[in-house]
Structure 1
Amino acid sequence: MRVKFSKMHGLGNDFVMLDGVSQRIRLSPDKVRRIADRRLGIGCDQVLLVEPPRHPDTDFCYRIFNADGGEVENCGNGARCFARFVHERRLTGKQHLNVEIASGTLQLNLMDADQVEVNMGAPLLEPEQIPFRADRRAESYPLEVNGETFTIGAVSMGNPHAVLLVEDIQLAPVRELGPLLAVHSRFPQGVNVGFLQIETPSRAHLRVFERGVGETRACGTGACAAMVYAHQRELVEDKVDMHLPGGALTIHWSGPGQPVTMKGPAITVFHGQIIL
């Protein structure tokens, strides 16, 4: 099976985009791992498969697969790349899109200069919705790892996130602590782990260890979750420039029950074909 693809990235968080609308594609975990392999395949953090809509009120459906082959619920940087991809591939002429993902629907708005704005929906904060094992909802939770207790925030943006405040983002134990928290037993579906340094109420820094991938150069849903956690604690304003290793995202959230919006770039790197 010869498949056409596009390689894209959002702030260095990179994707292989597959058009499952005009070509028939069947993915298995083995095929995803082969595509994502940076030495033997194309190389990416995640594979996104675009499919026809399943409901009359959506424009497309797309599925998200981590580099380890596992399918996941949401990806903010991937959402922006998806919007740019379907437009560049002439699968749609719309600037405003309503798309279905595993965790629900997203509203996407293509803007000028490669910018895409995404309505990520309202964050989920109840432990059973994240999911996270806790007796009740709280702004912060104690979490024990190897006999040491850390304070985290737990937020779902369609996928689960743990957020830790750090004083220096460069010294944050992302590679040491990230893998341990990502598979912590209190997160039954695993969790993406964000390390957040707040510089000012409108500017913050973030590094994210993503389950099934490792540390990435950017994580859109992680940036949204980190902003929500900091906003709940009144540490940031309604609008924050979130700086990640790959660049900056603008995140806006006005409070409980309101949607989170994320704006940032989506860049096409190259097109090609691969035999699966």
Structure 2
Amino acid sequence: MKIPFEKYQGTGNDFVMIDNRNLFFPKETDLIAHLCHRRFGIGADGLILIEYTTAADVDFRMVYYNANGKEGSMCGNGGRCAVAFAKSLGLFEKETQFLAVDGLHEAFFRDELVYLKMKDVSEIEKNTEGYYFLDTGSPHYVEFVQGLEQMNVFEKGRAIRYNERFCEKGTNVNFVEILGENLLRVRTYERGVEDETYSCGTGVTASALVYALQNQDLNEVQIKTLGGNLWVSFQQKNGNFYNIFLAGKAEKVFEGHIEV
């Protein structure tokens, strides 16, 4: 079987993109994991299918799989790449609404950036051990640190992801360093990938919202990741966040066919 695909990246978070509107793709865990494998497949942090939906005023459905081949929770950078890919397929012109695993999303292009509306957030847990925990479409542990560039994120992140609290369902683990006013550096260990990735969209969103809890006059935060810059804008009231947008570049890397 020959599978056509395109490869996209959003600040280094990379995805195999497949147009599955005719439902030809076999949704098999081993096949998806093989395609995402960086030695024996195409190589990616995840795989995304674009499918039709019968929902009113919705342009497409995004189905996201982690690199381990299992269907995942919402992926922010994957969502932005899905929007760019869907636009290239002619599914919309400037603005879109699409369905993902966590519900309806809006998105639009402005200059070179893709703006993706994220789910509202009303619950942020502040743990007595010094970390925060919240869900921005995926679950996220957030901890503020110093010396982030020198930190072994894989080792520390993996230990937290598999600790007694999180081992059953897993969590993404974000380490955050404050670089200046409204400017953060974030590095993330992602469940499903089970490694540090160059960027995590739901992770930088979570990190920005936790930072904003301590700076309640903010409505936008810039985040530096290993793969580039992202922006998170929002409105907040009494610890509730809404109109949250994740913005950054989403770019096609290459296209091809793979025989499986």
Query: What is the TM-score with the length of structure 1 in the denominator?
Result: 0.87
Instruction: Name 2:27's counterpart in structure 1.
Output: 27
CA distance in 2, matches of 1:193, 1:54: 36
Q: CA deviation at 1:172?
A: 2.8
Q: CA deviation at 1:234?
A: 2.4
Deviations 1:174-208 (A, max 9, x none): 11110121233423421100000011221110000
Deviations 1:18-37 (A, max 9, x none): 11014511221101111001
Bigger mean CA offset, 255-264 vs 30-39: 255-264
Matched, 1:272 2:256: yes
**Which AA in structure 2 matches 1:51?**
E
**Which AA in structure 2 matches 1:259?**
N
Instruction: Name 1:131's counterpart in structure 2.
Output: none
Listed as ranges, the gaps of 5+ residues in structure 2 are none
Instruction: Name 2:228's counterpart in structure 1.
Output: 247
Q: CA deviation at 1:169?
A: 1.3
CA distance in 1, matches of 2:208, 2:241: 15
Q: Tell me which of 110, 125, 136 is aligned to 2:123.
A: 125
Q: CA deviation at 1:84?
A: 0.8
Instruction: Name 1:263's counterpart in structure 2.
Output: 247
Instruction: Name 2:73's counterpart in structure 1.
Output: 73
Instruction: Name 2:154's counterpart in structure 1.
Output: 175
Matched, 1:204 2:184: yes
**Which AA in structure 2 matches 1:93?**
F
Matched, 1:116 2:117: no
CA distance in 1, matches of 2:178, 2:257: 42
Deviations 1:92-132 (A, max 9, x none): 1332111111111111102333x100111212526xxxxxx
CA distance in 2, matches of 1:26, 1:185: 35
Instruction: Name 1:95's counterpart in structure 2.
Output: 94
CA distance in 1, matches of 2:155, 2:132: 19
**Which AA in structure 2 matches 1:33?**
A
Asked whether the equivalents of residues 203 and 242 of structure 1 are also in contact (C-alpha less than 8 Å), the reply is yes
Instruction: Name 1:43's counterpart in structure 2.
Output: 43
Asked whether the equivalents of residues 200 and 236 of structure 1 are also in contact (C-alpha less than 8 Å), the reply is no
**Which AA in structure 2 matches 1:141?**
N
Listed as ranges, the gaps of 5+ residues in structure 1 are 127-137, 143-149
**Which AA in structure 1 matches 2:226?**
P
**Which AA in structure 1 matches 2:206?**
A
SS in structure 1 of the partner of residue 86 of structure 2:
helix
Q: CA deviation at 1:235?
A: 7.9
SS in structure 2 of the partner of residue 273 of structure 1:
strand
**Which AA in structure 2 matches 1:101?**
A
CA distance in 2, matches of 1:20, 1:168: 43
Percent identical across equivalent pairs? Answer: 29
SS in structure 2 of the partner of residue 186 of structure 1:
coil
Change (3 A) 1:52 1:239: same
Instruction: Name 2:206's counterpart in structure 1.
Output: 225
CA distance in 1, matches of 2:4, 2:152: 39
Query: What is the TM-score with the length of structure 2 in the denominator?
Result: 0.92
SS in structure 1 of the partner of residue 43 of structure 2:
coil
Q: CA deviation at 1:254?
A: 2.3
SS in structure 2 of the partner of residue 71 of structure 1:
coil
Q: After the TM superposition, which segments of 4 or more aligned residues of structure 1 sit over 6 Å from their partners?
A: none
Two-structure CA RMSD over aligned residues (Å): 1.7
Instruction: Name 2:4's counterpart in structure 1.
Output: 4
